[in-house]
Structure formats: structure tokens, C-alpha cells
Structure 1
């Protein structure tokens, strides 16, 4: 049995598991937002980074990459590591972080763009600086022609703050 996993964050440029096929595509009715805290990859428990999750947005689409996974071991790795008019692929697994803080204590939720940018500038975890995650996501999306407004505005705000030397609180 084949399983498809849709990546809309770091899975776009770094799958971290074996896959049989990779398709650029989108899902309807959701938008990508930097509302999920990362205390293990792009931040720490003391200073969480911000990574993307999805939130319902009826008239929007979220571009990303769908991975076809056929092998049992590859499916298990993909599950533990990631959590058009007619669809090219249906039945795709998508991880969406719960906004319920009782179920997901790392959910950070919405904030002003400048606040999110400053948090991203300061956060760093075992997988590297949080700003690298943002810039890699922006680059990967632009490589396949996706101009995600939230990602671009946030990346530009981070660059503005860094250029002006305002990274202090």
C-alpha cells in the first residue's frame, strides 16, 4: 500500500526519509502560518523558535510537496519525522498542529509580524538558527514559483531588522 505525505515546511527542501516520488502541488482551503513553536529543532524550551503549521482559509491554497512512500520502514520514518480542479493525488496525509494549548503546549499562535520576526531572529536549536528555516522555506517556495505572502513578508521583516541592527529586544 502506498502512502502520500504533504510537506509545506522544511519537508519541502529536506524530506529526511526515503520516498519513491515527489510532486509539487497544493492543498485547498488552508494557509501556511508561523504559529507553531519549535523547542527541539529551531529553538529551545527557554526560547522557542517558530515553524509553520496550517490554518483553515477557505479561499486560499498552500503550496508544498507531496511525497509518495511505498516501503513500510519509509512510511514509519516519514510519520515519526514529519508528522487544480481535480486532484492529481488524493488521500494525502498532512500534519496540522492543534491550536489547543492543552493538546499542543508548543502552539504559539498569531502575533504581530515584527514580534514573530524578532522571535525568529533570536531562536536557535539543534537544527540551526530559526531564521535559516524561514529563509530556506522562502527560497524553496520561490524555486517552484510560489509567492507565499506570509513567508515573504516575514522574511523581509527579518532582513529589515537584521540590516538595521535592531535585533535586540
Structure 2
């Protein structure tokens, strides 16, 4: 049996598992939001980070990457166990249709798994919900955990979306607000993460995603 997974956050640039194939594309009627708490990767229980989840919005489009799992039951089981540990803040696995660029009518894949979260802070303790842009930026600018800074998660996502040719305006706006906060706090932003002139787009990677095939399984987990 072969199954597919859609990644829209750190899975876009750091899947952390072996896969048979990677396809850039999108899902419909969902948008990416930073409404989920992370307390074990990019944040702590005392100072949770903000990471991506999906919000259902009719007519919205969310770009990312679909990964194909194969290699037999043992490898598939190991990959799913890894993902369930890594994506522990997400309380749902949803099945979606996945579309490739240039074909918005017929899905390229059906029954693709995507990790999502219930948008209810009562039933889902990790759901933070929306907040003013400035408040979110301050939280992201200062949170950190075992896998690194929350702000790097955001900057890496911004860069990953640029690398696949589908920038997310919401991610760019939030990243630019975080840069403002870092400037006020006197925190230096590495050169590769600074704005490049009026385009407000970070430096494009010299490595094309189409060449990124497999990653070793033993990598730091992220969400």
C-alpha cells in the first residue's frame, strides 16, 4: 500500500523521513495560519511558539508539497510513527484532494493525508487562535525551544515558499513584522534573512526543490 502526505509547514523544507516522490502543488479551501502552539520543538510550555495549521476557507488555496510513502509496510509504519511524534500538536488527520500546477479542475491525487487541528481551545489545548499581527510577531520573535527559534521556523517557511515559486502573502507580512520587532529588540537578523530591497522577498535558494530527493531519517524533529 502507498499513501501520500501533504506538508504545508516545516515539512515543505525538512520532511525528515524517506519518501519515494515529492510533488509541489496545492489543496483547496484551506489557508495557512499561525494559530497553533508548539511547546516542544520551537517553544516551551512556559513560552509557546506559534506554528502553522490550516483554516478552512471556501475558495482559498494552500501551496505546499506532497510526499509519497512506499517501501513496504515496515517503512510506512515507521514513517507514520515518526510523523505522529513530530506533529503531536495536531489532533486530526484529514484526507484532501491535491492539485498540481496548471490543473485546477482535476486533482492529481485523492485521499492525501494532512495533519490539521481543531480550531477550539477547549477541545484542543494547543489551539491558540488568531491574534493581532503585532502580538503574533512579538511572540514569534522571542519564543525558542529544543529545535531552535520560532522566528527561524517562520523565515525558513517564507524562503521555502519562495523557492517553490508560490510565496504566501500572509507569511511574508508576518515575517516582515517579526523583523520589525527584532529591530526594536536589537536582535541582529542574519544577512540571508534580511529584506532585499522593495520586493520584500528573501534570497532565493541556489538549490532547486526538484533536486531534493531523500533526507536521512535521523534528523531533528520540527513542527
TM-score, length-scaled by structure 2: 0.71
Per the alignment, in what secondary structure is the counterpart of residue 95 of structure 1? strand
> How far apart in 1 are the matches of 2:81 and 2:33?
26
Matches within 5 A, 1:98-137: 98-137=118-157
Q: Could you say which structure has the larger radius of gyration?
A: 2
Count the aligned residue pairs: 167
Shift of 1:104: 1.5
Structure 1 residues 112, 39: CA separation in 2 closer, same or farther (over 3 Å shift)?
same
Which whole-Å CA distance do the structure 2 matches of 1:45 and 1:54 have between them? 22
Cα deviations across residues 67-124 of structure 1 (Å, max 9, x unaligned)? 0001333343334434621111111001111112233111110000000000001100
Structure 2 equivalent of residue 49 of structure 1 = 49
Q: Give the counterpart of 2:170 among 132, 150, 159.
A: 150
RMSD in angstroms over aligned alpha carbons?
1.5
Task: Report if the CA contact (8 A) 2:121-2:129 is conserved.
Answer: no
Whole-angstrom distance in 2 between the partners of 1:101 and 1:161: 27
List runs of 5+ in structure 2 lacking aligned partners.
91-103, 188-223
- Unpaired runs of 5+ residues, structure 1, are none
Alignment of 1:1-169 (within 5 A): 1-70=1-70, 71-72=75-76, 73-82=78-87, 84-165=104-185
Deviation (angstroms), 1:166: 7.0
The answer on whether the counterparts of 2:10 and 2:153 sit within 8 Å (CA) in structure 1 is yes
TM-score normalised by length of structure 1 = 0.93
- Cα distance in 1 for partners of 2:111, 2:38 equals 27
Greater mean alpha carbon deviation, residues 48-57 or residues 64-73:
64-73
Q: Which runs of 4+ in 1 moved over 4 A?
A: none
Once the two structures are superposed, what CA deviation does each residue of 1:117-165 show, in whole Å capped at 9, x if it has no partner? 0000110011100000000000000111112111010001011222233
